[in-house]
Structure 1
Amino acid sequence: MARGKKSGKKAGPVRKWFFRLFKAGAFVTLLAVMALVIAVYVARSSLPGYEDLKSSPNGQMIRVLDVSGKELFSMGPSYGQWLEYDEIPQVMKDAMIAVEDRRYESHLGVDPIGIARSVYVRYQRGRWVQGGSTITQQLARNIFLNNSRTFARKGREMLLALAMERKFTKEQILELYLNKVYYGGGAYGIDAASRRFFAHSAKDLSLGEAAIIAGLVKAPSRYSPTADAKAAIGRATVVLEVMQDAGAITASQAAGTKPAEVDMAPEPRQNSVRYFTDWALPQLDLLIDETVEPIEVWTTLDLGMQRAATAAIQSGAPAGAQGALVAIDRDGAVRAMVGGTDYVTSNYNRATQAQRQPGSAWKVFVYMAALEAGYTPNDIVTDQPIQIGNWAPRNSGDRYAGDISLRTAFAYSKNTVAAAIGNDIGTSSVANMARRFGINTPIDVNPSMVLGTSDVRLLDMTRAFASIGAKGIAITPFGITKVTTMDGDLLYQSKFDGSRVLVDPWVAAGITDLMQTAVQAGTGRAANIGRPVAGKTGTTSSNKDGWFLGFSSGLTTGVWMGRDDARPVRGLQGGRAPAAAFASFMKTAVASRKVEKFDTELMLPEWQLEPDEEELFGAPEDGLYVDENGMPIETGRGLEYDMEGGQAADGPPDAPEQLDQDWIDSVLGRGEEPEEDTPAPAPDDRDEPEAGVLPSRSEE
């Protein structure tokens, strides 16, 4: 008994403290509830009236201008007819409630069950996946708040939702929501969305159409039928399943509705400017915070250059092939961008999205790494058969020139010399050079990488050449010069940063020297425009890709051509259609610019001319080789080694025809005109990435 009494004495104070804590907690909870009620009613009294909310605008107007201030187009919210609650099809209301807020009719503006589920999923996955917001909360956020993910904003959103539920009926809130929410494509409200995507009023929405629209609210950009029809249809199918699970439709209705069979409204006609704006305008999210006030966006696009670029690609791309072009000014401003032959039939931007093998255009990184490692343009290298491990690269036609200068090897895009250089300095050095110049796609460091077997983007390659043209200073492409309000207040101004040096100036001068030779006397002669040009061709195996990249008078332009399915294109070589498109565009683009000579003095030593193995198509039955016009090419120019025996293939090695310094000077505009009987080369790019055991990706 004594022990029991002792225990009771101990339990008394514990019970007493428990009741004290319980009372304190109840009191604090009561105060919190009272404070919440007061806050809700204060917020309720400050809310605008229903008619005011109906007339308030949504979305941001954006006026897009070219570099001279000429309007390209305006974009922003589009509004359809305001539909009263009774005018909205029931399937639309049911679809939205089922997919966004199943307990809409029963909660008070905030759904504790939804919040608990959201927190649980956050705990399971380690990140926020479900927001737990009700329709009322979403409406409050769209009208009064922003999309920042902070607890303070979430708290205000909940408070406003509770206040709105006290001031408006469920029908009024749903009417506001359906008429004001953003559905993608610039459309605010279901009527604007219906007219945008289906070309008719929302009063006539079918179940399938309602499912598509209801599915857009979660991610208007991702699920927009105009951006990704497959994603929109998949999301609509999920909406139908949710509606069936919620009891809004029957299983037979869900099974009988096919979102893929819904007739979509035709897209308005677009032009190639959209390739540029589709790339440039998303950058606004990183540049400014203003999301409400109307703004003017000044872009870098030059409409004159854009028209010339479009014409060059549309007229120059081989039949059945696509083409892309990017032009970057000396400060990184993108003056023209064409991502395909026709934006209407394909808005896929091959200039910024496609990843293709660059072929010999990649050799700029090989030779820059070589120059940095101590090579000079006048160094003598040997063009001969070579084997690295079990890889044996070859020149087209299996023809080799023996001892030639580094400059000559680059000009005629000698594969065996590039392979030997890569083996000497290490392919990792070449990869590091490419990374330094802005190539951010995966790079394979196997020996064949020196011939351009790693996929790249045209924009990245053009950026690299622009940095070379800037004497080794890093160039970053950009599309927006400044952003202002309609009243002229400056929100953003671009600034050129020329502080990052990628290579020493003498390395940039050396590769410019080599690239000028390639255009004036090598594989890129079709890119001549009557003023100094430095550039490089590129062709992948079986003519699947053709490239030309170069610069003149401060403007760098890259051109790619090929098929989207990577099938061979007959006659496609970098020194032909891409180089010709480059010349066609650049003649217009730099016509009003000052002629600029490159800093490097291009002095070539005497070297012996060889037939252009980059252009030879192979020996026909009569044993003759032909050029791009079908004319026979004379052989027997000496120093052309037979693949197997090392003997001169066509003619005695002791009687070569020579190309002397006088002829080179005349080609580069520095000397006297050559004599009429002086032979001139007819090179073109005919890059064969590799042979044997290491096929390129495009060959697999």
Structure 2
Amino acid sequence: MAHSDPDRPSPEKPRPGESPPDAGAAAREAAAAARTLVRQLGYLGGSAARGLGRRLTGMVRANRKAGHDTGPRAMKPARQAAAPAVIAQAQRRRPILPALLALVGLPLALLAGLVLYSFATLPPLGGVAAETGQRALTVEADDGRVFATRGTFQGQKLTAADLPPRMAQAIIAIEDRRFRSHWGVDPRGLVRALWRNATGGGIREGGSTITQQYVRLTSLTQEKTLRRKIQEAFLALRVESTMSKDDILLGYLNTAYFGAGAYGLDAAARRYFGKGAKALTLPESAMLAGLVRAPSQLAPTRNFGGAKERADVVLQAMVETGAITAAEADKARAETVTLRTPPETPPGTNYFLDMVSADAKRLADTSGDVTVRTTLNLDLQSLAEGVVARRMDAEGKKKKAGQAAMVVMNKEGAILAMVGGRDYEESQFNRAIQAKRQAGSLFKLFVYLTAYETGFTPETVLVDRPTQIGDWEPQNSTGRFKGAMPLRTAFAQSVNTVAAQLADEVGIPAVIATARRLGVTSELPNVPSLALGSAEVTLLEMTRAYAGVLAGLAPVEAYGVHAIRGGAPQPLYLRPETRGGKALPTEARAMMLESLQAVVDGGTGKGARVSGLPVGGKTGTTQDYRDAWFIGMTPDLVVGVWVGNDDNSSMNRVGGGDIPASLFRDFIQRASAQMARGRKRTSAARAEPAPATPPVPPREVASAAGTAIGGVPDVIDTGTLAFRGRTVRLLGVDGEGGALARQLARYLRRRDVVCTPATGDGDPALRCQIDGNDLSAIILAAGGGRASEDAPADLLAAEEQARSERLGLWGRER
């Protein structure tokens, strides 16, 4: 038992029913602690001085015994002749005394000054709030699957009754084994940390106690200075005198950062495991306890393997401290720890997430963690990202096209997929909703619809001829004129002179009014060149305008949020089921849809044709090929595509019927097949929380062909998967690494794969299935790898399909 110190203020812990000590009492206790420290420093300095004096006295006596006494009584007549030399030698030795005094006293004086200054600038307890940033968003796709989180999770403040005993034991074992016995500062632990760091060649262990970490989180900044450490020690002593050990531990766990935006134990439990802190198991508690030392590096959403290894260290520490037995530790290590949130936000969805985060704040600006059910279709999103990446990789550099954007929505305005650029990490600028570019011939939709509403028809004939409206003389892209033609043909061939004449006939103000009805909000100047798209607009507003024609209502509201839920059962926001807007004139709409289909059937949008599927759309190309657009539609979807360069430089003759139309076709061909298969969706309107989809651990599966393996794999290359250390080679695929492997990893993220032996004769290759489809066939059909020598006929056919369509690696080799 430690002896009591008469100069140490006695702990004043509040009794039940009493309020804690006031600020004055706290200041007096802290002042007393400071006086004690200064007095101890004085004792230390005095002892050092007395020790130095005794040493000097001993040196003088030794000199006398050796016959070197320089005092008067030692001056014998026989030696008087040597006196000047002795005196000179003594004078040379005399500066040693002040030098030694300075060597000892100066550091002590500096230390005392720093201690006093640190005490004088001591902040109040609890004066620093944790930097929590924006509230936490848990983001769900349209079918209820959680695919992303944003912001910081706060959770609930725990009480003593909510704290799992195993969690308390785990955090003490790994962070501060002497927590129950020290007074806030642990000299033994500090010396041990210094020794291990010195012998380990770097900072391997910290000497701070849990109490010191608590006061640093709640009262100090994170600067790494000696002054902060001294203040940390002062405040730790103060906290220990006013709070119980259990309250200190609880306060620390309520404020500590556990990575992945989770502050506090309850927030971490919900963030990683989808449960409150009270329900944590031993292996889960060990994993969370291991995070506080390096939360950003060990967050299991980013580094599950590292978090698991650290949890094993925590379990061993618990065994060493007697908190658990070795058998309990072994059992905990064998248990599967399952995350209930996605391991990492898919990079391509971040453009959509940026938009949804702003919408959620606008629709439900409230504090606390919220869950947002969005309109995003993860399958279509992955498909959109893939077709943009493949096509731009294959043709972008050759055609001097650096960027592309895509918006996919249904005719009600729900945004199902969004690609805001080729690489979110390189540029967060969302070209689908932020970039304003000239629309070119895409704007002719409003000219022709206005004309059809005022009596013109697709059969009305105008003449393609030199035209002048005021000082403006529009030109065709070919530089030639074709004479008389019906409006259907003029629209399909995107004849500029006819569009200019038509706009002049109906009036530019009427064209602007039509664009406004369909949802265009950008500035539209009242000038003749507006008919050819001289105004700058965004891809999203033009896509919603075309969706209005498909739906027959104007305007269609583009939206990405179905519902927002907080902690209460009642949703914070629920999108109304009723559809707004006014109906378009039926006859004019039908003529407009017919004209749009003519563009794809035989006009500038022929590159967007999809066999067996009715498709309409419109191309747009601006001056000097700075922007290329295509917005197309099927009976169910509207897809808007823009291609260009961020610096507004010209491309190599890329028009709307080139890369944009090809991107539309690539997407629709595969999307229509996916939508035809269909999938059961959770009701977004009812805003029901969807069950989380945890990663599936590897497991043995009974199979007629033998033992199989299933779970969520890691991708080594497009022909090789790994299930928690067990490597699986896909039948019939010679794998590719690099970008193709990364695309496959995004496709497989959080999805269950089951692999069975291809034959029963020990063949190491396995056939794997995902959602009932053969994974090898999917990879080969997308150009993700080459068919190997052992590939059966169906896989060779899949490779041939990819070759013919120049997909994946076959597009690179063109």
TM-score scaled by length of structure 2: 0.45
User: Does structure 2 retain, via aligned residues, the 8 Å contact 1:300–1:481?
Assistant: yes
Q: What does 1:306-317 correspond to in 2, within 5 Å?
A: 306-317=381-392
* Cα distance in 1 between the residues matched to 2:540 and 2:150: 26
Match of 2:357? 281
* Cα distance in 2 between the residues matched to 1:465 and 1:44: 67
User: Does structure 2 retain, via aligned residues, the 8 Å contact 1:383–1:401?
Assistant: yes
* Cα distance in 2 between the residues matched to 1:430 and 1:577: 29
Change over 3 Å in CA distance of 1:332–1:453 after alignment to 2:
same
Give the superposition deviation at 1:538.
0.3
Give the superposition deviation at 1:88.
9.2
* Cα distance in 2 between the residues matched to 1:76 and 1:188: 11
Give the superposition deviation at 1:435.
1.4
Matched, 1:568 2:650: yes
Contiguous gaps of at least 5 residues in structure 1: 1-41, 96-166, 193-200, 205-267, 596-700
Match of 1:419? 500
* Cα distance in 2 between the residues matched to 1:331 and 1:417: 32
Q: What does 1:629-644 correspond to in 2, within 5 Å?
A: none
- Structure of higher CA gyration radius: 2
Match of 2:367? 291
Matched, 1:539 2:640: no
Of 280, 303, 315 in structure 1, the residue corresponding to residue 378 of structure 2 is: 303
Change over 3 Å in CA distance of 1:67–1:452 after alignment to 2:
same
Give the superposition deviation at 1:490.
3.4
Matched, 1:582 2:657: no
Match of 1:355? 436
Give the superposition deviation at 1:64.
1.4
What is the CA deviation profile of residues 250-302 of structure 1, one whole-angstrom value per residue up to 9, with x for unaligned ones?
xxxxxxxxxxxxxxxxxx8851111111111221223335522x443211111
Change over 3 Å in CA distance of 1:453–1:525 after alignment to 2:
same
Match of 1:26? none
What is the CA deviation profile of residues 99-158 of structure 1, one whole-angstrom value per residue up to 9, with x for unaligned ones?
xxxxxxxxxxxxxxxxxxxxxxxxxxxxxxxxxxxxxxxxxxxxxxxxxxxxxxxxxxxx
Match of 1:71? 146
> Relative contact order: is structure 1 or structure 2 higher (C-alpha 8 Å, sep ≥ 6)?
1
Q: How many residues align?
A: 411
User: Does structure 1 retain, via aligned residues, the 8 Å contact 2:148–2:346?
Assistant: no
Give the superposition deviation at 1:328.
0.8
Q: What does 1:136-147 correspond to in 2, within 5 Å?
A: none
Q: State the identity as a percent.
A: 34
Q: What does 1:226-245 correspond to in 2, within 5 Å?
A: none
SS in structure 2 opposite 1:368?
helix
Change over 3 Å in CA distance of 1:87–1:442 after alignment to 2:
closer
Match of 1:492? 573
* Cα distance in 1 between the residues matched to 2:619 and 2:537: 15
Q: What does 1:46-445 correspond to in 2, within 5 Å?
A: 60-77=135-152, 83-85=213-215, 186=261, 271-288=347-364, 290-292=366-368, 294-317=369-392, 318-319=396-397, 320-445=401-526
Change over 3 Å in CA distance of 1:63–1:417 after alignment to 2:
same
* Cα distance in 2 between the residues matched to 1:43 and 1:325: 64
What is the CA deviation profile of residues 54-84 of structure 1, one whole-angstrom value per residue up to 9, with x for unaligned ones?
9999985432111112220233426999834
1:348 maps to a residue whose letter is: F
Change over 3 Å in CA distance of 1:188–1:577 after alignment to 2:
same
User: Does structure 1 retain, via aligned residues, the 8 Å contact 2:492–2:596?
Assistant: yes
Change over 3 Å in CA distance of 1:295–1:409 after alignment to 2:
same
1:387 maps to a residue whose letter is: Q
Match of 1:213? none
Change over 3 Å in CA distance of 1:474–1:43 after alignment to 2:
farther
User: Does structure 2 retain, via aligned residues, the 8 Å contact 1:484–1:490?
Assistant: yes
Give the superposition deviation at 1:458.
0.3
SS in structure 2 opposite 1:549?
strand
Of 513, 516, 529 in structure 2, the residue corresponding to residue 448 of structure 1 is: 529
2:594 maps to a residue whose letter is: D
* Cα distance in 2 between the residues matched to 1:538 and 1:458: 12
Give the superposition deviation at 1:330.
2.1
User: Does structure 1 retain, via aligned residues, the 8 Å contact 2:517–2:554?
Assistant: no
* Cα distance in 1 between the residues matched to 2:586 and 2:418: 29
User: Does structure 2 retain, via aligned residues, the 8 Å contact 1:58–1:180?
Assistant: no
2:625 maps to a residue whose letter is: N
Contiguous gaps of at least 5 residues in structure 2: 1-16, 23-124, 155-170, 176-209, 226-241, 268-290, 295-343, 678-814
User: Does structure 2 retain, via aligned residues, the 8 Å contact 1:471–1:509?
Assistant: no
Superposition CA RMSD, Å: 4.7
Give the superposition deviation at 1:389.
1.5
* Cα distance in 1 between the residues matched to 2:670 and 2:574: 28
* Cα distance in 2 between the residues matched to 1:415 and 1:561: 21
What is the CA deviation profile of residues 347-397 of structure 1, one whole-angstrom value per residue up to 9, with x for unaligned ones?
111001000111100100111111122211110111111111121111123
Q: Does 401-410 or 426-435 show the bigger shift?
A: 426-435
Give the superposition deviation at 1:498.
2.7
Give the superposition deviation at 1:93.
7.9
SS in structure 2 opposite 1:398?
coil
Give the superposition deviation at 1:323.
0.3
Change over 3 Å in CA distance of 1:188–1:486 after alignment to 2:
closer
Give the superposition deviation at 1:497.
3.3
Change over 3 Å in CA distance of 1:76–1:372 after alignment to 2:
same
* Cα distance in 2 between the residues matched to 1:331 and 1:423: 32
* Cα distance in 1 between the residues matched to 2:145 and 2:595: 40
1:555 maps to a residue whose letter is: L
Give the superposition deviation at 1:503.
2.8
Give the superposition deviation at 1:437.
1.1
User: Does structure 1 retain, via aligned residues, the 8 Å contact 2:132–2:263?
Assistant: no
Change over 3 Å in CA distance of 1:547–1:44 after alignment to 2:
farther
What is the CA deviation profile of residues 544-565 of structure 1, one whole-angstrom value per residue up to 9, with x for unaligned ones?
1000002102211100000000
Give the superposition deviation at 1:588.
1.8
Q: What does 1:18-33 correspond to in 2, within 5 Å?
A: none
User: Does structure 2 retain, via aligned residues, the 8 Å contact 1:87–1:203?
Assistant: no
Give the superposition deviation at 1:305.
0.5
User: Does structure 2 retain, via aligned residues, the 8 Å contact 1:410–1:514?
Assistant: yes
Match of 2:190? none
* Cα distance in 2 between the residues matched to 1:43 and 1:349: 58
Change over 3 Å in CA distance of 1:476–1:86 after alignment to 2:
closer
What is the CA deviation profile of residues 607-664 of structure 1, one whole-angstrom value per residue up to 9, with x for unaligned ones?
xxxxxxxxxxxxxxxxxxxxxxxxxxxxxxxxxxxxxxxxxxxxxxxxxxxxxxxxxx
User: Does structure 2 retain, via aligned residues, the 8 Å contact 1:474–1:498?
Assistant: no
TM-score scaled by length of structure 1: 0.52
User: Does structure 1 retain, via aligned residues, the 8 Å contact 2:405–2:419?
Assistant: yes
User: Does structure 2 retain, via aligned residues, the 8 Å contact 1:326–1:334?
Assistant: yes
SS in structure 1 opposite 2:438?
coil
* Cα distance in 1 between the residues matched to 2:131 and 2:617: 56
User: Does structure 2 retain, via aligned residues, the 8 Å contact 1:270–1:343?
Assistant: no
Give the superposition deviation at 1:571.
2.6
What is the CA deviation profile of residues 389-426 of structure 1, one whole-angstrom value per residue up to 9, with x for unaligned ones?
12111112321111110111000000000111111111
SS in structure 2 opposite 1:308?
helix
Q: What does 1:668-679 correspond to in 2, within 5 Å?
A: none
User: Does structure 2 retain, via aligned residues, the 8 Å contact 1:549–1:556?
Assistant: yes
